[in-house]
Chains A and B, each alone.
Chain A
Amino acid sequence: MQKIEHRQVQESLYYERLPNGLEVYVLPKEGFSKTYATFTTQYGSIDNAFQVKGKEKMVVPDGIAHFLEHKMFEQESGEDVFQTFSRQGASANAFTGFTRTAYLFSCTSNVERNLETLLDFVQSPYFTDENVEKEKGIIGQEIRMYDDNPDWRVYFGLIEAFYQNHPVKIDIAGTIDSITQITKEMLYLCYHTFYHPSNMLLFVVGSVDPEKVVEQVRNNQAKKSFAEQAEILRFVPDEPDQVGERRKEIQLSVGIPKCMFGFKESQQALGKSGQSMFEQELATKICLEALLGSDSELYQSLYNEGLIDENFGLDYALEKGYGHSIIGGDTSNPEKLLARIQEELPKRVKQGISATDFERIRKKRIGSSLRMFNYLEWIANQFTGYRFNGIDLFQMIPTLEQITLEQVNQRMREHINWDRFAVSLVTSHL
């Protein structure tokens, strides 16, 4: 077991890679009552075409990673694993994203038993024709719920507008039609491809003794045998630089229209990993915040003009195969908002970001990163997401301290490219 000290945030991280390939990280938090653990596979909704070297190439229905996540809670004993966690005083959950699926619990007692339950249920799939059929009704309602949610629709609409071919444009839950095709055989196939320990990471944070946790996981894993896994090949079609659609609009029954817009990264800006990817992400976030963040001049003018409200936000997502910024929120007048953005943003990009704005935003981001270390959930989930991209979360503050104004201005000129701009709108029925 390795100990890594992070002096500035005053945290010590413990790490071990087990013989079966599983990566285990433990972060003890002094004074906390809670322990939070995530067991994550690097497998998400975008992994719909793949091949284990030496085996056949597979293309699977949309929404299968998410469907599999739901079905993992089923156990051979017939007891839903939620019941087990409840008995042990834990609150359990799971989520599926574009690039990963995580299983988690939090508790303030019985940590050892809950950790054992987490490891065991994720490593013993039990699918039957009957339990797979039953889930279709439940997930069908989950899909309907999102269909009626304008915030989700405007966000996802923008992703659909950006991409022509990349599977990130496929809804994480799939559609009612696509999930109808799912069978237990397909679930087992995906499970055995992506849930090998060498494709997974366990993160435990909270009121724990790192030695004991690692020892427990070592013993738990030693009892199970996993066949050697060959490399997984993931197939992603080529994605042109151009956006798929410049503008996407749908109608829902909303009181206030929703408008999101942003820029898609060019292929040239993708494919990085590790520290250079981290720098790109943080520099882009600083640039967006300087241009349109809540303490920028432009934000304040738009707010005073009644075009945006306090929920106007910005985000930047960067993965190995895709990247984009997402900006927007509720607006009473989407057309006017877009016109103002297209008028003002180019001027500000031309001027560049000033040293004063840069320093203020850097300081603000350092403070907010520090605040996030209060949240065990955030630490575990962010750490894991970053780790899969070769990034170390604990380098966030040092990286922010090193980023230069030149880097941020350079990034701004690359990212803000109107040829890769798209808009998504949700407006009310006429």
Chain B
Amino acid sequence: MTRSQFETGSLGNLRVHVYPSKKFKTTTLSILLQQQLSPGFVTKDALLSSVLQRGTQSYPNTLDLKRKLADLYGAILFGDVYKRGERHIIQFGLEMANEQYLQSQESLLKKGISFLIEVLTKPATENNGFRKEYIEQEKAILKQKIDSLQDDKIRFAAQRSIEEMCANEPYALFNYGRLSDIPEINEQNLYTYFQEVVTSCRIDIYCVGNVSSSHLIEILEQLLPPEIIKAERKEIPFSQEATAKNEVKVVVDRLNVKQGKLNMGCRTHTTVRDHDYPALLLYNGILGGFPHSKLFMNVREKASLAYYASSGIESHKGILTIQSGIEIDNYEKAVAIIKEQLQAMREGDITETEIEQTKATLTNQFREQQDSPYNLIQFHYHSILSGKQWTLTDLLQQIEQVEKADIQRVAEKIQLDTIYFLRDQGGDPHAKN
């Protein structure tokens, strides 16, 4: 039964993807809903992902719900929200032990699926709304989550630089939403929103484990309410391409920090849907994806300016980000070295060794993902969201075929948009560095 691919089936308007495999000691289920990333929804989505974990009709009490999970041999329930371009993904999932390894005869699988579906479709309610108590508590927790963004300076700088770079685009939104929306949300309007989401957002159901596709669909059909199966679901458009800025935007934030965080954002004008996507993967790998990359070698190893200096891409929105932690006084030096690397990429100052190393490490990175249920799901969902359903084999083959000229073509499209610096309170507060 082990086949190294997802089998996609459908149940009404729901897509069901199953990866039958015996190699894991657990079964992982994940339900992914797509919402448009927009100011009107973002905070509600974040709140929904936590409120639904508070209680269901069978287990209205949070403590009972958690004890039920412990009873399923410590099954893990998770719910979260994240961005993929200008789509907001609401995710719920359950990972549970495969009963074949337990000294127990009970069938965990069906119990687990039934539990997860109840979390998503039958929340604990009162007066035709969510429980007021849960809403109030989760609103306070969400506020705390948003307030705590500044605690992790690496994440804070990453979010702030995107906010500045995409100032008038939905992509600027933080995945947990906005503080200003929280007071308006209540148990009634969130419940109405919840009903809209489960009956109108596109839903993909994933399962990785020792399960066949037909068996899973059969169980789902028994357990899911018919109105969920039949509902018409909307398509969320792919992200908007941003218009280019005429000059690089420079932003400085000040907090009481010892290390400066330098984040530089570029527009790639290449997305996961483009023919150039594999070449973009190589571009990023050569620039800053690995310890053999230009950023690591030049900012860290040669100049000793940083402990970390790397780059990453958001291929749905078309953004490349560069990040490094540096001594505050070394700002100019670090920016200059990073710009030199971007320039070297444009000029085709790329060796055969760099290309070979990057092909080898990228290929390895994608292959390694096959060994984690979560990464398997992420990889497949990434292709679903792109609208181009490739397999791992296709992608690896495309990576192999990329040539230096392709990378240089990508490099020419890449445009520095924003330089963001988080620094201490020193220096001239009005200076733009």
A residues touching B (Cβ–Cβ < 8 Å)? 8-10, 29-34, 80, 82-83, 86-92, 106-109, 134-142, 144-145, 147-151, 252-256, 258, 294-295, 297, 300, 303-304, 306, 309-310, 330, 332, 360-361, 363-368, 370-371, 373-376, 401, 429
Is there contact, CB below 8 Å, between A138 and B145?
no
Which B-chain residue is minimally distant from A105 (CB atoms)? B364
Q: A10-B101, A370-B26 are in contact. Are A364 and B367 (CB under 8 A)?
A: no
Residues of A within 8 A of B137 (CB): 303-304, 306
Which of A92, A140, A429 has the most chain B CB atoms closer than 10 A to its own CB?
Answer: A140
The answer to whether B256 and A145 touch across the interface, beta carbons within 8 angstroms, is: no
Partner of A254, one of B22, B151, B291: B151
Which residues of chain B in 94-113 are interfacial with respect to chain A, using CB atoms and an 8 Å cutoff? 95-98, 101-103
One of B35-43, B66-74, B233-241 at the interface: B66-74
A429 near B305 with CB under 8 A, answer no
Decide: A309 and B291 in contact? CB cutoff 8 A: no
Q: Which of B73, B300, B373 contacts A138 (CB 8 A)?
A: B300
Contact with A along B116-157 (1 / 0, CB 8 A): 000000000000000001000100110011011111110000
Query: A141 with B325: in contact, given A294-B66, A360-B67 (CB under 8 Å)?
Result: yes
User: Which residue in chain A gives the minimum CB-CB distance to B366?
Assistant: A108
Residues of B within 8 A of A374 (CB): 24-26, 372-373
B78 vs chain A, min Cβ distance (A): 10
B74 touches A363 (CB 8 A): yes
Contacts of A140 in B (CB 8 A): 327
CA distance A367 to B94 in the complex (A): 13
Question: Nearest chain A CB to B31's CB is how many angstroms away?
Answer: 19
Partner of A137 from the list B24, B75, B305 (CB cut-off 8 Å) is B305
Contact A144 B327 (CB under 8 A): yes
B25 touching A9 by the CB < 8 A rule?
Answer: yes
Listed by A's residue number, 30 A-B pairs whose Cβ atoms lie within 8 Å are A9-B25, A10-B101, A29-B23, A33-B368, A34-B368, A89-B363, A90-B361, A91-B290, A92-B291, A106-B364, A108-B367, A135-B304, A138-B304, A141-B306, A144-B259, A149-B152, A151-B151, A253-B256, A253-B257, A255-B148, A256-B147, A306-B140, A310-B141, A330-B144, A363-B70, A364-B70, A367-B73, A367-B96, A370-B98, A374-B26
Task: Kindly state the separation between the CA atoms of A332 and B327 in the bound complex, as whole angstroms.
Answer: 31
**A368 proximity list for chain B (CB < 8 A):** 74, 76
**Contact digits for B173-196, partner A, Cβ 8 Å, 1 yes 0 no:** 000000000000000000000000
B356 within 8 A of partner (CB): yes
- Asked if B360 lies at the interface with its beta carbon under 8 angstroms from chain A, I say yes
In chain A, what residue has the closest Cβ to B422?
Answer: A148
Residues of A within 8 A of B147 (CB): 255-256
Would you call B307 an interface residue if the criterion is a C-beta within 8 Å of the partner chain's C-beta atoms?
A: yes
A278 CA to B284 CA, complexed, in Å: 45
Q: Which residue of A lies closest to B301 (CB)?
A: A80
Task: Say yes or no: B257 contacts A107, CB within 8 Å.
Answer: no
| Chain B neighbourhood of A429, CB < 8 A | 256
A137 & B304 in contact (Cβ 8 Å cutoff): yes
Q: Min CB distance, A14 to chain B, in Å?
A: 19
Q: Is the CB of B2 within 8 A of A31?
A: yes
- Kindly list chain B residues whose C-beta atoms are within 8 Å of the C-beta of A82: 290-292, 296
Q: Tell me if B325 and A144 are in contact (CB < 8 A).
A: yes
Q: Is B63 an interface residue (CB 8 A)?
A: yes
Q: Across the interface, do B356 and A371 meet the contact criterion of CB distance under 8 Å?
A: no
Chain B 1-15 against A: per-residue CB contact (8 Å), 1 yes, 0 no? 010000000000000
Distance to closest chain B CB from A301 (angstroms): 9
- Is the CB–CB distance between A89 and B70 below 8 Å? no
- A57 vs chain B, min Cβ distance (A): 33
Counting CB contacts under 8 A, is B313 at the interface? Answer: no
List B32-91 residues whose CB lies under 8 Å from chain A: 50, 62-63, 66-67, 69-76
List the A side residues contacting B153 at CB < 8 Å: 148-149
Q: Is the CB of A367 within 8 A of B74?
A: yes
- Interface contact tally, CB-CB below 8 A: 198
- The smallest C-beta distance from B305 to any residue of chain A, in angstroms, reads 7
Contacts of B326 in A (CB 8 A): 141
Contacts of A256 in B (CB 8 A): 144, 147-148, 151
Chain B residues proximal to chain A, CB less than 8 Å: 2, 21-26, 50, 62-63, 66-67, 69-76, 95-98, 101-103, 133, 137, 140-141, 144-145, 147-153, 255-259, 290-292, 296-297, 300-301, 304-308, 325-327, 353, 356-358, 360-361, 363-365, 367-368, 370-373
| Distance between Cα atoms of A106 and B371 in the complex (Å) | 12
- A32, A88, A92: the one within 8 Å of B23 (CB): A32
Contact yes or no, A87 B360, CB < 8 A: yes
Most buried by A among B25, B308, B358: B25
In the complex the two chains form, what is the Cα distance from A319 to B304 in whole Å? 35
Q: Is B151 in contact with A255, judged by CB distance below 8 angstroms?
A: yes
From A356, which residue of chain B is reached at the shortest CB distance?
B67
Residues from chain A with a CB closer than 8 A to the CB of B358 are: 86
For the complex formed, measure the closest distance between the CB of A38 and the CB atoms of chain B, giving whole angstroms: 16
Contact B73 A364 (CB under 8 A): yes
The answer, among B22, B75, B370, for a CB contact under 8 Å with A33, is B370
Contact of A363 among B24, B71, B296 (CB under 8 A): B71
Q: A310-B141, A373-B25, A376-B371 are in contact. List 9 more A-B contacts (CB 8 A).
A: A8-B101, A80-B297, A86-B290, A88-B360, A109-B364, A141-B325, A150-B152, A255-B149, A370-B73
What are the residues of chain B within 8 A of A360 when measuring CB–CB?
A: 67, 70-71
**Which residue, A109, A256, A304, A306, has most C-beta atoms of chain B within 10 A?**
A256
> Are B255 and A253 in contact (CB-based, < 8 A)?
yes
- CB distance A370 to B25 under 8 Å? yes
Residues of B within 8 Å of A135, CB to CB, are 304
Write the chain B residue with the least CB distance to A82. Answer: B291
CA distance A271 to B66 in the complex (A): 36
A86 near B257 (CB under 8 angstroms)?
Answer: no
User: Once bound together, how far apart are the Cα atoms of A254 and B155, in whole Å?
Assistant: 13
Output the least CB separation between B249 and chain A (Å). Answer: 24
CB closest chain-B residue, reference A81:
B291
Query: Out of B256, B357, B371, which one reaches A86, CB within 8 Å?
Result: B357
The answer on a CB contact under 8 Å between B259 and A145 is: yes
| Of the residues B69, B296, B360, B365, contact of A295 by C-beta under 8 Å | B69
CA distance A214 to B61 in the complex (A): 54
Contact B63 A295 (CB under 8 A): yes
Asked whether, in the complex, the Cβ of A86 is within 8 Å of the Cβ of B291, the reply is yes
Contacts of B290 in A (CB 8 A): 82, 86, 91
Task: Check if A371 sits within 8 Å of B97, measured CB to CB.
Answer: yes
Distance between Cα atoms of A256 and B142 in the complex (Å):
12
| Minimal beta-carbon separation of A281 from chain B (angstroms) | 18
In whole angstroms, how far apart are the Cα atoms of A258 and B148 in the complex?
Answer: 10
Question: What residue of chain B has the Cβ atom nearest to residue A140's Cβ?
Answer: B327
Which residues of the partner chain A approach B325 to less than 8 Å between Cβ atoms? 141, 144-145
Residues of chain A within 8 A (CB-CB) of B102 are: 366-367, 370
- B22 — which chain A residues lie within 8 A by C-beta? 31
Q: A231 to B67: give the CA distance in the assembly, Å.
A: 50
